[in-house]
């Protein structure tokens, strides 16, 4: 659909919106939100409709994504520069294209963020990602959602709820993070997980819905894969690198 088509759809739908809203006159929240445009409602994490002004913001992002997703995949420096322009905040971030998001500006990453192929972040609300986070292929973070009841949903109202990911987090392949979820520091999420609730620090979690399996402990420090230990040569190099970072 074109922006004009979406605008007409929005204008037709909004005529029916208020028959589903049960608004009182004395509520402070209602007074504060009266007269807010759809972009302000969206940014306040309230119910909103993607009207023409919202789609205009997405156009800016899609043009950057068009460039990113069709670049020479061997142009690592060029990709890193486009990623820097796309994201709202980053420090030495790298994303393997293709990558998809709604706005880009609502994604904030710490140091050394890496996302592998085919990552999708629906950043209707803020997505804050900490330092040294790694996303495996096909990771998806969704801040966007819709009302459960079909009558309400068909009015085109939707919402966005912030997602946060702490420092030193590894999300396994095909992980889905749902709206409003907060993942703590030093967490590993197993491949194929659907994260619907908060995950505490120092956890290995997996499943659908994702649940904590165990805590990460000092016994994991030298582990490579399952119970296999890192070889001596690599371990000595790891220790020296850790020391250099301190």
Catalytic machinery residues: 146
Other CB atoms within 10 A of residue 210 CB: 24
- Nearest alpha-carbon partner for 188 in 208, 219, 167, 209: 167
Measured CA to CA, the distance from residue 133 to residue 96 in angstroms comes to: 14
Residue 212's DSSP bridge partners are 205
State whether residue 160 is helix, strand or coil: strand
Which DSSP symbol is given to 125? S
What phi and psi values does residue 128 have, to the nearest 5 degrees?
A: -110, 120
> Strand pairing of 94-95 and 114-115?
parallel
The contacts of residue 134 (CB under 8 Å, 6+ apart) are 114, 115, 116, 169, 170, 171
Give how far the C-alpha of residue 9 lies from the chain's centroid of Cα atoms, to the nearest Å. Answer: 28
In the chain, the N- to C-terminal Cα span, in Å, equals: 53
């Amino acid at each position: 659909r074109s922006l004009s088509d979406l605008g007409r759809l929005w204008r037709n739908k909004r005529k029916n919106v208020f028959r589903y809203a049960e608004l009182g006159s004395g509520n402070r929240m209602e007074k504060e939100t009266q007269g807010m445009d759809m972009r302000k409602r969206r940014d306040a994490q309230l119910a909103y409709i993607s009207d023409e002004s919202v789609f205009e913001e997405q156009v800016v992002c899609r043009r950057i994504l068009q460039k990113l997703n069709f670049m020479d995949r061997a142009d690592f420096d060029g990709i890193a520069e486009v990623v820097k322009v796309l994201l709202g905040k980053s420090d030495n971030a790298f994303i393997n294209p293709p990558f998809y998001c709604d706005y880009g500006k609502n994604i904030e990453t710490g140091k050394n963020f890496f996302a592998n192929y085919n990552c999708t972040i629906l950043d209707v609300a803020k997505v804050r990602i900490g330092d040294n986070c790694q996303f495996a292929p096909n990771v998806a973070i969704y801040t966007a959602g819709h009302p459960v009841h079909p009558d309400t949903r068909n009015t085109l109202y939707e919402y966005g709820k912030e997602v946060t990911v702490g420092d030193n987090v590894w999300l396994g392949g095909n992980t889905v993070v749902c709206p409003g979820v907060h993942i703590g520091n030093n967490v590993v999420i197993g491949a194929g997980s659907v994260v619907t609730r908060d995950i505490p620090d120092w956890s290995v979690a997996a499943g659908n819905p994702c649940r904590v399996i165990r805590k990460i402990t000092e016994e994991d420090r030298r582990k490579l894969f399952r119970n296999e230990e890192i070889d001596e040569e690599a371990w000595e190099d790891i220790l020296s690198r850790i020391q250099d970072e301190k």
